[in-house]
Structure 1
Amino acid sequence: MKTEINSNATGVKRPFKLEEIWRIRTRLEIKNNLMQLAALNLAIDSKLRSCDLLSLRVRDVATSDHIFERVQWTQKKTGTEVQFEITPRAQQTISRWIQYKSLQPSDYLFLSLRRANQPISYSYYRSIIRNWANQLGLDSDLYGTHSMRRTKATLVYARTKNIRVVQLLLGHTKIDNTI
């Protein structure tokens, strides 16, 4: 018996296009899915790898009554500190999510429903993103958690054509990694 391997299942994942992001947002807003909406907006704004995004606690992005406009974060993979802006749209959805779930400062921003005091898992986050791609009629094998990291960087590069800006946004030490 011959087994076929889908070569698209691994490798570089595509970023979402701006119109695709808006379609995802619209669907999540209609469903009032605050967790996924907050995750979408923060993932795009922060450009963090999934391990860093899922590690965020409420205190990392907010005080008791205020969502930060800028956040400093030390990346787990590289140990380098990056700064990212949280746009007003993301601030609003994060605030609504925190209030809806009555999250405390020490809670993970995206709490697991199955495991006490743990964030959602990488595999669950990946399945959310693949589901978004499916709902848009896209090949979900071409999208994954890294799609979220690459989305804003790709949009910025399309506008500026400045690879150095994208390098700084992603916190890459080598320009070759950015290219």
Structure 2
Amino acid sequence: MGKSQFDPAGHKLIPWNAGRMVGAKRPLKQRDLWAICFYLDEHYRWRDRALFDLALDCKLPACDLVRFITGDVVAAGSNRNRANVIQQKARKPVQFELGKEVRESLLAWLTCRGGSIDDFAFPSRIDRAGHMSTRQYSRLVDEWVGAIGLDVRDYGTHSLRRTKAALIYKATGNLRAVQILLGHTKIETTVRYLGVDIDDALTLSERTEI
């Protein structure tokens, strides 16, 4: 139960966002990606490198990323070139590519991790049979960006989801393709993710044929 704004106690309430930086988190730049990869490789963080690479390629929310099972990325004893998963919130299938680097980092981690194709690729630190929590993933992202000198308040798990989409849009201007890759139903959602002006976005979309 809350307090009334007319009560004396209500005058002492502090807004939840007082002093905090809120809003969309920034995507990482190319040099930031290289720096994080170097940091993880230097410290032999195979799990974190695989998780980082997969987060960039799959462009999925944290709640979907941590639920990956080994069978989602491995088939017939080798890594898949593409994967298809159902988003937990949207309940829609999203297909994405698995580049060479993510396949290599996943192979290194899953070889070390062991288990079967039905196991979670990134197990919980508390329960090996369960998957990593979104909170643990968020703390890892804070550690990665902090390790290369970035302000952790400016970045988060959504930064990794936005990064490749932002790079694709910057290189091609193809907003519709980015919308498909992110699994967004409405183009306005993609616009907010990329920070593109709505009029420019719609113009680009109208000129783009899939």
TM-score (norm 2): 0.81
Q: Is the contact made by 1:64 and 1:105 (CA closer than 8 Å) also made in structure 2?
A: no
CA distance in 1 between partners of 2:178 and 2:170 (Å) = 10
Please name the residue that 1:45 is paired with: 57
Please name the residue that 2:20 is paired with: 7
Q: SS in structure 1 opposite 2:128?
A: coil
Please name the residue that 2:86 is paired with: 74
Where does 1:94-173 land on structure 2 (aligned, <5 Å)? 94-173=106-185
CA offsets per residue over residues 100-140 of structure 1, 9 Å max, x none? 11131111000112123111111110011111111122110
TM-aligned CA deviation for residue 64 of structure 1: 4.9
Q: Is the contact made by 1:167 and 1:175 (CA closer than 8 Å) also made in structure 2?
A: yes
User: Sequence identity, in percent?
Assistant: 34
CA distance in 2 between partners of 1:160 and 1:103 (Å) = 40
TM-score (norm 1): 0.94
- RMSD over aligned CA atoms reads 1.5
Q: SS in structure 2 opposite 1:107?
A: coil
Q: Which ranges in structure 2 are unaligned for 5 or more consecutive residues?
A: 1-11, 192-210
Q: Which ranges in structure 1 are unaligned for 5 or more consecutive residues?
A: none
Larger Rg: 2
Higher relative contact order (CA 8 A, sep 6+): 1
Amino acid at match of 1:53: L
CA distance in 1 between partners of 2:181 and 2:52 (Å) = 17
CA offsets per residue over residues 18-63 of structure 1, 9 Å max, x none? 1101100011111110000000100000001111111110011102
